[in-house]
Structure 1
Amino acid sequence: MDLDWAYFRRLYEDLLDHDGDRHRFLADRRGTAAAHLAELAPLRRRERIPPGGYTGDDEQLWRIMKLYALSRVSDYLIELRPEDGAPRTRFFTEIGLTPFEHAEAFSPFHHEIVAVVQDPNATRVTVEEVLWPGFWFGDLLFSRAGVRVRAPRHLIDAAVATTSTLYFTFRREPRPTDDLSHGWGSNSQWRTSFHRFYADEDGLHLNWDGEIDIGEDPPHSLAGRPPNETPLDERRELLLHRCFVRTALPHDEHDRFPYDDRLTLATAEWPLPPESIVRTPRPA
């Protein structure tokens, strides 16, 4: 099969236009969708990024953009009413993704906070309920599991964690979201790259394609750009959770740019222990 990079875009657009039985709609397409996902197999394992990143001639970049379109299908299905949530789990399992819940312990790498039980007697963050499963594509985190957590306010502030802008995400009504497709035209937006978060024997790699390792203190600046003056702890919080969860929201919290940052961790805990940070130098 030739790399039809627009297949998942068409699937997303057709799904939005479909008013009937979503189970049947997705079931009728699972064989074709599975074949298209299978051709993205090189994304299942983390690779060394070429110096300067991929160019438009690299097939790997087109695979990354194609997977982004499938992530939009996931975002849309997450927004459906709870009683309609089953199509997402069944469809993604049947086309070749591996579901997970990780219900035993809270991990900001694996979990998206959807709701918070504020408990002043709690001493740590715990998972109260898994609201939707996450999915793996090999070592690649396709989507996090949505969870309700119990936490003291000094670790997770309920208002901040559930209403701050959710980055690396196209849609998640009713909260504000931000990804690199926002603001682009109807065709240009589909050239957005899927943000790759990997888990393998070397650690948890957040936004592997990011050019700035924020495990360094201070991080380096990109050539030709002014230094990022954002406090390092805020940058790490935003990349780890993909939103703010306890920081008093700055006036520009909806206008941050975490997409250049990357971070590798031995474990994803909250609060983030400094000793969990692993340096991951890039090729020169």
Structure 2
Amino acid sequence: MSEPADEYDPMWELRVLYHDVLAYEGKDLYFGLLAPWLEKNGAAREWLLSFAQRRGEPIPPAQEWEIHALYAVNRVNDLLLGGFQPATVSEWPNLPITLDEYVAFMTGLGFEVVDVTAYSPFYHEVMEVAQSDEDAAPVELVSIVWPCLMLGCMLFSRAGVKVRSGRKRLSPVLAGSSTLYWAFCRRYRPCEDLSHGWGSNSQWRTEFRRDYRFGSQMYLNVDRAWDVSLGDKPGYSPSGLSLEERTELVIHRCFVTRSASNEDPFPYVLSLNLTERE
């Protein structure tokens, strides 16, 4: 697949930005680094806005370099979100940025803030669960710590939320503390993505997980062909995961009701298409 034009390489500029953010020692990250970067890199916004407007049948096509560049944006986003998380399991930096400044930077890049008031694992990353008195009580949003970001119909970053739920819906122990997959870094919980363990160059060829929503229809991890929707079949059990475990991991990106039956689940090959009940 073709690479971006030689005069501007968003992948390289985003890699540099990631390292600059990680090394930042000043007191005002937004005005000291992020806002000037936006001014110099208008082509990044143009590319992202063009990507957001792309259409497909129904999934828009994406070139390989674009999926890698989206991952690079996601890495920067993960670093910035650390400023809104308690450092309970990780020493990733608590960056000097306010929520308004974070939103200004991400919307400046072309992302759209989406305010969804009813809990949905498509839009919401659970940070903390308060247990309801009834075991089967539905999940209710208590507070939103950071917002959900979309790029057209593609999910870019789920909102960080605190919820109240019956334990049969979300385990108060697991939902906010189990390993979060498809995530580069979190300060409040363990996480993992396919860049972990690779060299300084190879890790940047990690693919961004693309999820799309069109009305009530959702397409999760669309660049992978191992469809959880096909159900259990002989030999159809990657990493020894059950159908229920596979489904839970793809939808929530972590275990929320059960512990893994396999110590090393590998959910990255899985995709899922489903319709959310209204």
| 1:16 is aligned to 2:16 | no
More off after superposition, 258-267 vs 113-122: 113-122
| 1:132 is aligned to 2:123 | no
Equivalent in the alignment of 1:6: 12
Segments of 5+ residues of structure 2 without an aligned counterpart are: 86-95
Q: Is the 8 A contact 1:129 1:148 kept in 2?
A: yes
| 1:92 is aligned to 2:123 | no
Q: Is the 8 A contact 2:239 2:266 kept in 1?
A: no
Partners of 1:202 and 1:219 in 2: CA distance: 27
Letter aligned with residue 78 of structure 2:
D
The alpha-carbon deviation at position 260 of structure 1 amounts to 0.9
Q: 1:45 to 1:261 in 2, by over 3 A?
A: farther
Partners of 2:218 and 2:145 in 1: CA distance: 23
Q: When the two structures are superposed, what TM-score results if normalisation uses the length of structure 1? A: 0.82
Deviations along 1:209-250, one digit per CA (max 9) or x if unpaired, are 11111111236868xxx8653110110001100000011344
Q: 1:73 to 1:47 in 2, by over 3 A?
A: same
Deviations along 1:21-41, one digit per CA (max 9) or x if unpaired, are 111111111134442142243
Equivalent in the alignment of 2:44: 36
Letter aligned with residue 241 of structure 1:
H
Letter aligned with residue 67 of structure 1:
L
Q: Is the 8 A contact 1:181 1:192 kept in 2?
A: yes
For 2:155, which of 137, 141, 154 is the aligned residue? 141
Q: SS state of the match for residue 175, structure 2?
A: helix
Q: Is the 8 A contact 1:125 1:149 kept in 2?
A: yes
Partners of 2:111 and 2:42 in 1: CA distance: 9
Equivalent in the alignment of 1:210: 224
The alpha-carbon deviation at position 85 of structure 1 amounts to 3.6
Equivalent in the alignment of 1:106: 119
Q: 1:258 to 1:33 in 2, by over 3 A?
A: farther
Equivalent in the alignment of 2:249: 238
Partners of 2:107 and 2:198 in 1: CA distance: 31
| 1:184 is aligned to 2:194 | no
Letter aligned with residue 8 of structure 1:
L
Q: Is the 8 A contact 1:166 1:242 kept in 2?
A: yes
Q: 1:16 to 1:95 in 2, by over 3 A?
A: same
Partners of 2:55 and 2:226 in 1: CA distance: 17
Matched positions, count = 256
| 1:66 is aligned to 2:72 | no
Q: SS state of the match for residue 141, structure 2?
A: strand
Deviations along 1:52-74, one digit per CA (max 9) or x if unpaired, are xx9xxxx8100110110010111
Equivalent in the alignment of 2:34: 26
Letter aligned with residue 23 of structure 2:
D
The alpha-carbon deviation at position 147 of structure 1 amounts to 0.5
Partners of 2:235 and 2:225 in 1: CA distance: 9
Partners of 2:104 and 2:137 in 1: CA distance: 36
Q: When the two structures are superposed, what TM-score results if normalisation uses the length of structure 2? A: 0.84
Q: Is the 8 A contact 1:204 1:268 kept in 2?
A: no
For 2:272, which of 263, 266, 283 is the aligned residue? 263
| 1:116 is aligned to 2:129 | yes
The alpha-carbon deviation at position 262 of structure 1 amounts to 0.6
Equivalent in the alignment of 2:175: 161
Segments of 5+ residues of structure 1 without an aligned counterpart are: 270-284
Letter aligned with residue 29 of structure 2:
R
Q: SS state of the match for residue 174, structure 2?
A: helix
Q: 1:147 to 1:164 in 2, by over 3 A?
A: same
Partners of 2:25 and 2:150 in 1: CA distance: 29
Letter aligned with residue 121 of structure 2:
P
Aligned-residue CA RMSD (Å): 2.6
Q: SS state of the match for residue 156, structure 2?
A: strand
Q: 1:249 to 1:212 in 2, by over 3 A?
A: closer
| 1:152 is aligned to 2:158 | no
Letter aligned with residue 12 of structure 2:
A
Kindly, what percent of the aligned residue pairs are identical? 39
